[in-house]
Amino acid sequence: MRKFLLLLILLFSAPAVAQEEVDPVCTFAETQWPGADPAAEPAHPAHPHYAALQRAYAQETDPGRRATLAANIRRWEAMPHRLGDRYLLVNAAAFRATLWEDGSPVSQWRVIVGRTRTQTPIFHTEARGVILNPWWEIPASIVAESVGALVRNRPAEARRRGYVVQGGRYRQRPGPGNALGLMKLDMPNAHSVGIHDTPSRQLFDREDRALSHGCVRIDDALGFATTLLSRQPEWTRERVDAVIAVGETRTVPFDAPLPVYIGYFTAEPAADGTIGYFPDIYGRD
């Protein structure tokens, strides 16, 4: 009892932490980037976006903008400080994916990301290649939500949509109605989050594209695949289209693994040097 009373006294007499001492931005999930070796990292991120945000923060006088800039600076500091010579960076807040080569952006695509209740996680991994005409391995959550009932109660309609059950696994056959569209990246990761095509391409015209179960859907998916395969000259757009036309599933390995970073930045430099600000769709700022 004496120890318990002493503990209560210590707890309630401890000084309150000042608001400015609390980091309200980065959660544990946001700041942990598996695979990063802090001992091998440079002191600060080498990315030009980090330097641009630092300059903007030093010049900004609006308190709200300064808070947003500070939040995004901390996000960059939580990432691996060297991203590689060639990599894909997805900014979920901007609904955009960018291919970087030798320190510069070379191609961009619109993306659809997770809804607020099924948020796209922050992580990094490597893509090993492109899968054309993919099967969809349906997650258990989606089986429970809709597909399982469709297969049980309306089997003819389920077959028409390409749903099959094989060895207890719910799958969808390749084809234009497949939920993954005509391609996906071969990108294993602990989150089971993919980057893939979609048959609902009209959704890319929306301004707010937080619409998925967590995966990243990419616009102009076959153009995206061809761009990522550009270092393998035999894989032209014509050859990609020919494989799609046959309808068989084919995995095309990259000549080297492509680092993929899924990030969340509500402030980002534009090509003209100004800072673009994006809605905080996940409420992380």
Distance separating alpha carbons of residues 197 and 212, to the nearest angstrom: 12
Q: Is 199 among the domain residues?
A: yes
> pLDDT band for position 199 (50/70/90)?
very high
- Establish whether 215 is a catalytic residue: yes
**Quick one: tokens of 200?**
């609902």
Q: Is 2 among the domain residues?
A: no
User: Per residue in 256-279, pLDDT tens?
Assistant: 999 999 999 999 999 898 999 999
- Going by C-alpha positions, the residue among 138, 131, 91 that lies closest to residue 111 is 91
Kindly state the average pLDDT of the residues 203-217. Answer: 97
Amino acid at position 270, single letter: A
- The domain of 158 spans 138-173
Q: Which position has the higher pLDDT, 200 or 13? A: 200
Q: Which position has the higher pLDDT, 92 or 28? A: 92
Q: Are residues 193 and 155 in the same domain?
A: no
Q: What is the pLDDT of residue 121?
A: 97
Q: What is the pLDDT of residue 225?
A: 98
Q: Are residues 147 and 185 in the same domain?
A: no
> pLDDT band for position 27 (50/70/90)?
very low
Give the count of domains, the chain. Answer: 2
Asked if residue 29 has pLDDT above 80, the reply is no
pTM of the model: 0.83
Q: Are residues 230 and 256 in the same domain?
A: yes
> pLDDT band for position 44 (50/70/90)?
confident
Distance separating alpha carbons of residues 180 and 213, to the nearest angstrom: 12
Q: What is the pLDDT of residue 65?
A: 97
- Establish whether 196 is a catalytic residue: yes
Q: Are residues 127 and 242 in the same domain?
A: yes
Q: Are residues 52 and 148 in the same domain?
A: no
User: Please, are residues 196 and 183 in contact by the beta-carbon 8 Å criterion?
Assistant: yes
Final residue in a domain of this structure, among 153, 173, 193: 173
Kindly state the average pLDDT of the residues 198-213. Answer: 97
Q: What is the pLDDT of residue 273?
A: 87
Q: What is the pLDDT of residue 41?
A: 57
- Which residues share a beta bridge with 190? none
Asked if residue 155 has pLDDT above 80, the reply is yes
Q: Are residues 58 and 184 in the same domain?
A: yes
- Which residues share a beta bridge with 98? 89, 108
Q: How would you class 77 by CB atoms within 10 Å of its CB: exposed for 0-12, middle for 13-18, buried for 19 or more? A: middle
Q: Are residues 32 and 148 in the same domain?
A: no
CATH number, domain with residue 76: 2.40.440.10
Q: Which position has the higher pLDDT, 25 or 203? A: 203
Q: What is the pLDDT of residue 43?
A: 76
Q: Are residues 148 and 248 in the same domain?
A: no
Q: Is 186 among the domain residues?
A: yes
Q: What is the pLDDT of residue 205?
A: 97
Kindly state the average pLDDT of the residues 167-181. Answer: 94
Q: What is the pLDDT of residue 176?
A: 86
Asked if residue 194 has pLDDT above 80, the reply is yes
Q: Is 166 among the domain residues?
A: yes
Distance separating alpha carbons of residues 47 and 51, to the nearest angstrom: 7
Q: Are residues 94 and 169 in the same domain?
A: no
Q: Are residues 152 and 103 in the same domain?
A: no
Q: Are residues 207 and 257 in the same domain?
A: yes
Distance separating alpha carbons of residues 234 and 82, to the nearest angstrom: 30
User: Per residue in 7-21, pLDDT tens?
Assistant: 443 333 333 333 332
Q: Are residues 214 and 268 in the same domain?
A: yes
Q: What is the pLDDT of residue 36?
A: 54
Please state, rounded to an integer, the average pLDDT across all residues of the chain: 88
Q: Is 17 among the domain residues?
A: no
User: Please, are residues 135 and 174 in contact by the beta-carbon 8 Å criterion?
Assistant: yes
Asked if residue 5 has pLDDT above 90, the reply is no
Q: Is 3 among the domain residues?
A: no
Q: Is 7 among the domain residues?
A: no
Asked if residue 239 has pLDDT above 80, the reply is yes
Q: Which position has the higher pLDDT, 30 or 38? A: 38
Q: Is 144 among the domain residues?
A: yes
- For residue 90, the SS3 value is strand
Final residue in a domain of this structure, among 127, 146, 173: 173
Final residue in a domain of this structure, among 173, 195, 225: 173
